[in-house]
Chains A and B, each alone.
Chain A
Amino acid sequence: MSDSPAVAGNGNRGYPGLALLPWLLGIIAYWIIVVVDPYHLRHNGPTFRLAEHRYPDLEWSRLIGITTGQPHGLVLLGGSTAMPISPDIMREAFPRARNPINLSYIAPRPLDMPRILPRIAQITGLERVILFMDFTLIEREPRRSASGEVLENMASTNWSHGGDFALSTALASLHALASGTYDLPFWSDITVPEYMLGATPMTHSAGVMRRFRDAVQRHADDVFAKSTLTCAQIPYLQNELVPFLTQMANKHVAVDLVFPSIPFVLYYDWIDHGPPFNTLLPGPVFDQFIVFKRCVIAARDQVGVDSNRVIALDTKDSLSGDVGRYFDSIHLIDPEAYRTVIRMIADGDETITSANIDQHEADLRTKVARTAARIGTR
């Protein structure tokens, strides 16, 4: 009979070798990765170049080790509100900065910072650091972002973290062996962060516009109500920011602490439709952002270095007052807007201090209320 064990054994004679092929290829791929070391696990210096174009979002987080192992005069670290800022437009705004780099990733959390800030601090030739003060840094829970988990994994498991090695890692490493650049052909087509793919301005969505109109009408009376947020509830400030500012001061590196440009309507909208990350307290949003600003100013003053600035980009009418330049309630969609943002940082526009924060708050209230009046009333 054809299905007797003896005959079946003869018919499968070539299969054991075939079954070993994936293992063999896996071992080869692994050793290519080991040789190239794209995620800088050996910590003994880069051996290849990175491409000029954007990398996939999570891949970029994995490359933080290699990027911080290279010299940079200017480093930007923020969340999704800073991710579209390219090194080219950083160079335009800071023409004398050597090899600027944007390390930003989605929704950075305070718990990520011990894996990132020390790497930034040891960068050779560093002259200025721009830290975006995204609301996700208000986080009180001991949670990491997805990128933070990647960094933690790499820092603690060294070469055994197979989950971070993918086929793309091996192929890009092979490319690095051949050309000296860690890259894949289809990565060069990536022009925006993944969360922006297919995004359209908010003014293209009738549903979003209805939601905004309803929000400003519903919260006209409580948008400026006091929250219960205090500086003590933002552990990032004393645990991460102040030590980093102190370290940078000792190295004579200037630090800009930047509050991103967000639309005025957000303060109404997020009372009911909060951000996907549970970092804000329920209730009034405007006051929590103001408290965060006051606390960051206090942290900056605690270190007391004149070259450190706190910059709030969220009062400019041409950005925050134009909902057509955003694709959701916090992210700018217009590339030119990101150019404006980085120029404003370079120029030190809208620097806020303990002396002018009350005036800043008053101006912002006026603009927020004016926006609401234009959207929501007859």
Chain B
Amino acid sequence: MSDEDVLNRLASLIADLLDLDDLKLTRATTANEVDGWDSLAHVRIVVAAEQAFGVRFTTGEIASLKTAGDLVDLIALHSHG
């Protein structure tokens, strides 16, 4: 799966979880820029992403996430690993 595929699938997942019809997710998007992406939503998104992509993140990895692109890279890293 390409990084773009991961980003698109992640965008669809987040839009579904946060009930957003018009989510424009780019690699540079941060949580603060997405309506409803607060700490509770973050819990839901991270756990749902793990399930959807069949990966498991570690504590250090999550702590360093800044943008959607970072999350895409992390998913790709685990998917290829």
Contact = CB atoms under 8 A, between A and B. Distances in A.
Contact of A213 (B39, B44, B62): B44
B47 to A, nearest CB: 5
Contacts of B38: 322, 324
B59 A213 contact: no
B1 interface: no
A206 B75 CA distance: 13
Interface string B35-72: 00011111110110010000011110111000000000
Contacts of B61: 206
A323 B47 contact: no
Given A204-B62, A206-B58, A206-B62, A375 B40 contact: yes
Nearest to B64: A204
A375 B57 CA distance: 18
Contact of A323 (B39, B50, B56, B58): B39
Contacts of A371: 40
A206 B50 contact: yes
A179 interface: no
Contacts, number: 55
A362 B46 CA distance: 30
B62 to A, nearest CB: 5
A213 B43 contact: yes
A210 B38 CA distance: 16
Interface string A366-378: 0000010011101
A182 B38 CA distance: 45
Residue in A203, A322, A376 with the greatest tally of chain B CB atoms within 10 Å = A203
Output the residue of A206, A209, A378 with the most chain B CB within 10 A.
A206
Given A202-B39, A321-B40, 10 more contacts: A203-B62, A204-B63, A206-B46, A206-B56, A206-B57, A206-B58, A210-B50, A213-B43, A322-B39, A376-B44
Interface of B: 17, 38-44, 46-47, 50, 56-59, 61-63
Interface of A: 200-207, 209-210, 212-213, 321-325, 371, 374-376, 378
14 contacts: A200-B59, A202-B39, A204-B59, A205-B63, A206-B46, A207-B59, A209-B42, A209-B46, A212-B43, A321-B40, A322-B39, A323-B39, A374-B40, A375-B44
